[in-house]
């Protein structure tokens, strides 16, 4: 029997999808929540070389869009800005910040990229947030999540810590996939045709850090508002670099090359539809 309560509106969430993990949906605010957990062994089917080829150009482009918004709308003078990225992964956001002369510290629990951080002189604390090593007496001007917020189970504790670590007028920036986007809606339709693999992939159930929640443009601000974070703006980010779709798909090393070729060819065929559909990824700017 399911007694899962929606973290946004408090209503009961009902079973929606039976995948590698169960996924529940709130009928009131449309939040999706899985019963997956983070695998502390860090073992998964993630293939980092293919992932970098398929993602890097796209991520750098999206990060530049976020930087542009920061410069134009919030920080005219970047000289004394202090930022924190929670879940730095491959370090690309930190590199973009450095190139734009923005001081940003990262925190990352996984050691996969530790050598890369050292070789590229990136300032990253190894471990889980909150960590005493990330304490900043005067508070951060911004704290950012890049495809990380949706992977965290205890969001209440997380947001309470963030409120302490941000300056009074500091920014919380969340770059996150959306459940109302083209790919999630398409994968949901395929589920009812008995094709579950696409939803499994979107929830990243094959990887050690699966999605816990899938938000949309309405329920994410509603949830953050419960912790007195006011939405300032949000905008669409790009979902695919169409020049490296196959490599992006092959980031899951359980995916065959033949299947990756078929899927990438189909995506190229429907490129105009994807680009004119609801955004699969959005970035949100909040102020406390």
What six digits make up the tokens of 246?
Answer: 């196959």
pTM (predicted TM-score): 0.87
Q: Span 13-287: which CATH code? A: 3.40.50.150
Q: Give the pLDDT of the chain (288 residues) as one tens digit per residue.
A: 467 899 999 999 999 999 999 999 999 999 999 999 988 765 544 444 444 555 788 899 999 999 999 999 999 888 889 999 999 999 999 999 999 999 999 999 998 899 999 999 999 999 999 999 999 999 999 999 999 999 999 999 999 999 999 999 999 999 999 999 999 999 999 999 999 999 999 999 988 899 999 999 999 999 999 999 999 999 999 887 545 555 555 555 565 666 666 666 665 655 666 565 678 999 999 998
Q: Which residues contact 78 (CB under 8 A, 6 or more apart)?
A: 71, 100, 101, 102
Contact criterion met (CB below 8 Å) for 6 and 33: yes
What six digits make up the tokens of 20?
Answer: 């590698």
The tokens 């065959």 sit on which residue? 256
Q: Which residues contact 143 (CB under 8 A, 6 or more apart)?
A: 83, 84, 85, 86, 162, 165, 166, 170, 171, 172, 173
């Amino acid at each position: 029997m399911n007694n899962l309560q929606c973290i946004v509106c408090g209503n009961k969430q009902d079973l929606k999808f039976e995948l590698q993990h169960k996924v529940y949906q709130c009928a009131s605010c449309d939040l999706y929540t899985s019963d997956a957990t983070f695998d502390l062994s860090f073992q998964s089917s993630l293939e980092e070389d293919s992932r970098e080829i398929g993602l890097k150009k796209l991520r750098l482009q999206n990060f530049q869009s976020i930087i542009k918004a920061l410069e134009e709308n919030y920080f005219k003078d970047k000289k004394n800005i202090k930022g924190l990225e929670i879940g730095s992964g491959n370090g690309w956001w930190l590199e973009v910040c450095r190139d734009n002369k923005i001081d940003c510290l990262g925190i990352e629990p996984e050691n996969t990229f530790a050598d890369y951080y050292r070789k590229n002189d990136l300032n990253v604390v190894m471990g889980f947030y909150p960590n005493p090593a990330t304490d900043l007496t005067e508070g951060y001007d911004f704290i950012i999540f890049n495809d990380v917020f949706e992977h965290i189970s205890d969001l209440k504790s997380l947001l309470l810590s963030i409120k302490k670590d941000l300056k009074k007028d500091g920014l919380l920036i969340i770059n996150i996939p959306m459940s109302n986007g083209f790919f999630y809606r398409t994968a949901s339709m395929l589920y009812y045709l008995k094709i579950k693999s696409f939803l499994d992939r979107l929830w990243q159930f094959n990887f050690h850090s699966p999605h816990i929640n899938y938000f949309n443009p309405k329920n994410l601000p509603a949830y953050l508002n419960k912790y007195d974070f006011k939405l300032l703006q949000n905008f669409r980010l790009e979902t695919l670099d169409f020049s490296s779709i196959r490599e992006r798909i092959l980031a899951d090393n359980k995916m065959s090359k033949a299947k990756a070729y078929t899927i990438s060819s189909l995506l190229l065929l429907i490129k105009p539809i994807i680009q004119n559909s609801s955004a699969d990824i959005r970035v949100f700017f909040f102020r406390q």
